[in-house]
Amino acid sequence: MGRLLSMSDENRTPSGPGFRTTLWTVVRRAGDDQAQDVVRNGALEELCRTYWSPLYVWLRRDGHDPEQAKDLVQGLFVRLLEGKALSQVDAHRGRFRHYLLAALKNHVLNQRDHEHAARRGGGRTPVPLDMSDAEEGLPAVGVAAPDHAFEQEWARSLVRGVLADLERAEISRGRGEVFKALAPFLSSPPPPGALDRAGDLLSLRKSAVKVSLHRLRRRFAETIRSRIADTVETPDEAEDELQNLLAALSAKNE
């Protein structure tokens, strides 16, 4: 995947004064009482859907059982959506995931001081998160340190989200079968004969399959960069986050 994401300048994150307003920027501005709740909450909910899984994994590595982990994640999101924590955000904290992990650790300490507090945000679900398969694919608790596991799951979760977005886009274009056949080769070279078999399955020439794969890979890389850019505020941070993502994806459990 490293080679795929180290592409030409046409796929690089925008730089300079025109660097776009990010979701993280919108969320941070919510510390201002004048902020529009609907805008802030929409941005925060989108980020929460991306980050609940890494937070859950951190909690499991920290020794919490599945139900406790789900409760704590939802409780944290209630606090964020209510804006109480956002009003204390350090303008120089940088990356959203670093802020969010620090907020989770503080939330866990607060909950330990209030063991009988209402669970899952007092019965409210701030973001409709599907945690039904939260344990699926989760390595044995204790294999990796919590912070290390958080980094790995952050990277995997981001890639899963990008693949899901691409699949929906391709289905809407009537190319769902093409995506299904080529998705396994988006982050690594196809083995010998794989493109021939894909062509037979799709009734396409090998040259057409290669073109489709090239275009999918380009959109895959562009979408990953766009997702990363949503959670930082400068081009340099975006490039650094990309390298962190690649390192997390290649790291082994420790």
**pLDDT digit string (tens) for 172-219?**
999 999 999 999 999 889 999 999 999 999 999 999 999 999 999 999
The total of structural domains in the chain comes to 2
CA pair distance 176, 211, nearest whole angstrom:
16
**Contacts by 205-209, CB closer than 8 A, 24 or more apart:** 209/182
Mean pLDDT of 38-55: 78
Q: Determine contact, residues 241/231, Cβ cutoff 8 Å.
A: yes
Residue where a domain terminates, one of 86, 108, 138: 138
Note whether 127 and 157 are same-domain residues: no
Query: Per the domain annotation, does 85 fall within a domain?
Result: yes
Confidence of residue 98 (pLDDT cuts 50, 70, 90): confident
Note whether 209 and 195 are same-domain residues: yes
Tokens of 3: 């080679």
pLDDT of residue 116: 46
Q: Which is more confident, 41 or 117?
A: 41
Query: Per the domain annotation, does 174 fall within a domain?
Result: yes
Say if residue 107's pLDDT is above 80. yes
Q: Determine contact, residues 226/195, Cβ cutoff 8 Å.
A: no
